[in-house]
Amino acid sequence: MAKMFTSGEDYEGLMGRHSKKLAPLFADFVQIRDRGSLLDIGCGTGSLTQVLAERTHAAKIVGIDPNQPFVDHARARFSHDKRISIDHGSAVALPYADKSFDLSMSLLVLMFIADADKAVAEMKRVTKPGGTVAACVWDKRGMITGATYWEEAIKLDPAAEARAEKSATLYQEGKLAEQWHKHGFKDVVETPITIQMEFKSFDDYWNPQLTGTGPTGVYTVELRAQQRENLRSALKKRHLGDRADGPYALPAKSLAVRGVVPN
């Protein structure tokens, strides 16, 4: 994952702006309470951490991420708020004692963890009995920008199919709830959450791909110049159709789950 996510600023341009729209809706679903300690796992540049900070006044907030540039970005972003601390560490080996947090959350993280079950087990371990553990991931069929990117890439280069399959774990409805039940959570609820990914123009979508951020960005910058231009043209047609270039939006469906740690 380190190769895909190396700059906080680049991530903000690619996905951070969309995470900002998703984070409040995810927080609504989780039903955050202003008490105890809250953990944001894979906090990235801080979209969810920001929402937690805005909705609480007494709770302690801890963010953790494996990418040092993201950690640095988030630490600078929240340096004014003494309730917030940002740690460097892995979701599959959380550096916290058992039963440390009242709420553990992860936003758009589990898809990129090879052993997602281990991460869920860690989230449960560090959460107090009676506390909530929640996660949100992109839906397999609902992430239009990702799906169309790989569809067009594969048309131009069949070898891209292997890259698409390895880019992230693909969730579909019911799988998160199944995973939460398997780990012994009670009161498990899963729900879809849809946002509109808004772009000022096609280049507002395309240019962040050229930073090499995320699975699609890594693939884009590895292409030869003509291959990259062919992909750009194909994606522009998919995004705009016969419309003139200008502002447009594409839907992005995510899946969210929450469950309670048994007493």
**Could you tell me which of 128, 117, 253, 122 has the C-alpha nearest to residue 197?**
253
* Confidence (pLDDT) at 165: 65
153 in Cβ contact with 126 (< 8 Å): no
Sheet bearing 101-107, strands edge to edge: 84-88, 60-65, 37-41, 101-107, 127-143, 248-260, 186-199
Summarised one tens digit per residue, pLDDT across range 28-72 is 999 999 999 999 999 998 999 999 999 999 999 999 999 999 999
Q: 8-260 sits in which CATH class? A: alpha beta
Give domain limits for the chain: 8-260
- Alpha-carbon gap, residue 15 to 27, rounded angstroms: 18
- Alpha-carbon gap, residue 16 to 42, rounded angstroms: 13
Tell me the whole-structure pTM to 2 decimals. 0.86
* Confidence (pLDDT) at 2: 40
Q: Which ranges of the chain have pLDDT less than 70?
A: 1-16, 165-169
